[in-house]
Structure 1
């Protein structure tokens, strides 16, 4: 497996334009306030009645989501009707060709997702044939609905066994989306979330900065495989680590319901239940659905509200994030790190609706850092763009200092 480039503080991808989409998944590079779209989504969204419980896509709109991945085992046409009424964009998983033909031109459809985790579930020996099959199927879907994005969801591609398969699959769809879940008991305490930076950076590099990269962030726990629920600060760090390294969309996994519990997953929701009753074994694994407890309910609800705050932040920043990266360089110097050569990562963007620029920064490590940021081209002032309570920053016109908490995110407004 080839070595990744040595990590640098300053990220400089997308200087000529950020690959992103409009609301129908059509790829674009030039930012247009009327057309450009930054998805803020949630996985396994539900609408309508299911096993005595009512679900309404309106709750996602109210929580600041603009995108929903629709759990496929529901009335998808009804969900799309609701999405269109609410101004939500929908990712539709594994639709039939007849369904695509019937829904062609539906403005609520963001993308058709016709492949799921191929680098993880398709062996190396079977990959060439499966790639050819995907190309054939994708061509048929494109012939039916040429004006719609084709989306592929994949695993993170971190391991040696998946690396080359993952790279091959990256070249196929209009839009690449992958998950990467660092918070697991086997890694506890999690020392860093560098793996998020690695997978997103690889996706950007392997696609020659020509495809939108959407990142699926961990907003769940799964006891059987040892994943645990991150807190809001840890989730915010994952989100901004992905964005700083090149993601142009964020989707959270996932909404808590009978659907996620069938896979032994406790997701996030404003009103989760301890258990969802006698519901079908959708994944056919013969195991009972996950039952949580009062503490689990609290974790789910607390992170839901944390996600609401992150969503508001992303919506405000989206016009900046989809514009070309600025070649404004700052170097981050820290004292001894717990493991990473460069724990602080930075990205410069035009500041939204104001003069100056926005410098995004994230601490990938689970330790606090006193950081000196040297910006050789200089600045007039540095201040906080976000409402974070930040310690006083010492600044002298070319450098400033700040203290980053563990997994801390900073958003600076720099006026030159």
Structure 2
């Protein structure tokens, strides 16, 4: 991500490869469906990490790699294969071959093409033209029509005034075309450690970016959210486990179908896998990931619009939103606030659950459910996950 001075993928090398190398689209009907098709697996990745740490990342619930630095190389793919860690990789002849079919989950487009691009002779030029990116996407699909292509976009997705877009700052309409250049879309903005005082601390910008990507695609493509889980470039701010959890769940509540953690640290010194070196944050991320996998089947089920009503404490306070799901015996209400102020909310359930109680997951709390209604308090940008048992035959 260019904010962190990482040029993860070179657009020029991609174009050179796609234009000069012979076409090698994969026709192997035995290609594995991959983890994305599994109903009980929620995609949780890590951005641009060395495969030598794949086993350690797997131990905290990471189930794919997004990108490979200066790769993919033989060493990288062998290490990922040994760890049984899927990867979204740049396309090259090695990765397009059949030897690593079991771990190539998909392909990566060049990172943040919507940002100003480095000129060959120095300085910055305009972003990549959407038409050029769409052409590259089509060429990559010709090489392998079976695997999805992931495109990560920059913070202009959520923040129109991001000056890193150069001449295209304040032009959000560009994204209506950028989103055509991928099968899966992600974006990154890091509000906890952000250097701009107007963005720093505004966790709602992550939800805003998810909303906008879903809107630009009419909900037709999966959207993933890149979440900061390191200092990034801040010497004085380290995200807490609660903040990371809120970012993850705000993303999901607003429609994200996958999570990618950004764990590089650049200040006061460079640490590529800084999350693995921070015991409290690593433990918190592991717990978040465990909850995501525990609820994977629920999260991948159909949503239930109109089942839950939200009545804020004040008429002007409509900051809390909800994602409603179910399994055979439970109703789940995943809720989050986009406000920096605390608020109280009353939830009403329309599908006739019995009077009883509401379990608040991960918080060791139980709320009374009276006449299909309950109340709860939300701190700034807080998220709460509610689980309500149903009285049905076969359900205890």
Identify if the C-alpha distance between structure 1 residues 162 and 263 changes in structure 2 by more than 3 Å, giving closer, same or farther: farther
Q: Highest relative contact order (Cα 8 Å, sep 6+), 1 or 2?
A: 1
Contact 2:41 2:293 (8 Å CA) reproduced: no
Give the count of matched residue pairs: 341
- The partner residue of 1:45 within 46, 49, 55 is 49
SS in 1 for 2:244: helix
Contact 2:130 2:174 (8 Å CA) reproduced: no
| Aligned 1:38-187 pairs, distance under 5 A | 38-47=42-51, 55-73=52-70, 76-92=73-89, 94-96=90-92, 98-102=93-97, 106-121=101-116, 130-156=129-155, 157-160=157-160, 161-183=170-192, 184=194, 186-187=196-197
| TM-score, length of structure 1 as denominator length | 0.72
Return the alpha-carbon distance in structure 2 between the equivalents of residues 408 and 415 of structure 1: 23
SS in 2 for 1:388: coil
**Structure 1: 5+ residue stretches without partners:** 1-20, 48-54, 272-299
Give per-residue Cα distances to partners, 1:152-199, cap 9 Å, x unaligned. Answer: 110131333241122221122011111121113543895642212211
Identify if the C-alpha distance between structure 1 residues 249 and 203 changes in structure 2 by more than 3 Å, giving closer, same or farther: same
The RMSD of aligned alpha carbons is 3.2
Identify if the C-alpha distance between structure 1 residues 148 and 376 changes in structure 2 by more than 3 Å, giving closer, same or farther: closer
Return the alpha-carbon distance in structure 2 between the equivalents of residues 198 and 191 of structure 1: 14
- The partner residue of 1:212 within 222, 225, 230 is 222
Contact 2:73 2:94 (8 Å CA) reproduced: no
Give per-residue Cα distances to partners, 1:12-44, cap 9 Å, x unaligned. Answer: xxxxxxxxx95276xx7xxx63xx752111112
C-alpha displacement of 1:99:
3.2
| Aligned 1:336-347 pairs, distance under 5 A | 341-347=317-323
| TM-score, length of structure 2 as denominator length | 0.76
C-alpha displacement of 1:121:
2.3
Return the alpha-carbon distance in structure 2 between the equivalents of residues 101 and 319 of structure 1: 31
SS in 2 for 1:221: coil
